[in-house]
Amino acid sequence: MILSDRDIEALLRLGELVVEPLFDDTVRENGLDLRLGRQYCFLRPTGRVLDPRSPGDPGEFYECGEADEIVVPPGRRVLLHTLEYLKLPGYLAGLVNLRSTWARTGIYIPATVVDAGFEGQLTIEVVGSEFPVKLRPGERFLHLVLVRLATPAAKPYRGLYKGQRGVRLPKVFELFGVVG
């Protein structure tokens, strides 16, 4: 079942669902509008193979930083994050969509699911359009549809991305002691 604005507001009041910061226009008819954060990591074009068992230096694969404006060049991929920090209970999962205004610019995000019990800022991949698109931190960018599970997850999310803030690189770098 997809949660309505009334369901979401009730969960926020009870503290079952946490969204920080929470803006007046965050809760929508059937989900949450989430804002863009300041950090980015562009995927670098390279001929080097990323071996998950021996990933090497993340700087060979990612160019990361912070900015007040992020221009996504045509066809390029960039990791971005939400301004909001979320805490989902073990009985809610989330489906991440690009807000339609941004989809109409031609940028794209792959299908992304937020697991039940997840906590943290979301890291999201954005794929560039046919022309450069300028993004600004603080703008409403994603729409998160919250779905109630038929039964609470037996094992709510406890992975390496729990509690993340900012853009988080793939866990292979952390598993082998390399930090991005």
> DSSP assignment, residue 47?
S
Which one, of 98, 165, 105, 119, lies nearest residue 18 by Cα? 119
- Three-state DSSP at 45 gives coil
| Residue in this structure with the two tokens 């604005």, named with its chain if needed | 5
130 CB neighbour count, 10 Å cutoff: 10
**What 8-state DSSP symbol labels residue 44?**
P
> Quick check: is 9 catalytic?
no
**3-state SS class at 103:** helix
Distance CA 167, CA 11 (A): 27
Choosing from 16, 119, 125, 174, the catalytic residue is: 125
Residue type, 117: G
- Please measure the distance between the N-terminal and C-terminal CA atoms of the chain and give it in whole angstroms: 37
In the numeric block, the tokens 């991440």 are attached to: 96
The type of residue at 17 is L
- What is the token pair recorded at 39? 């950090």
Active site residues: 125
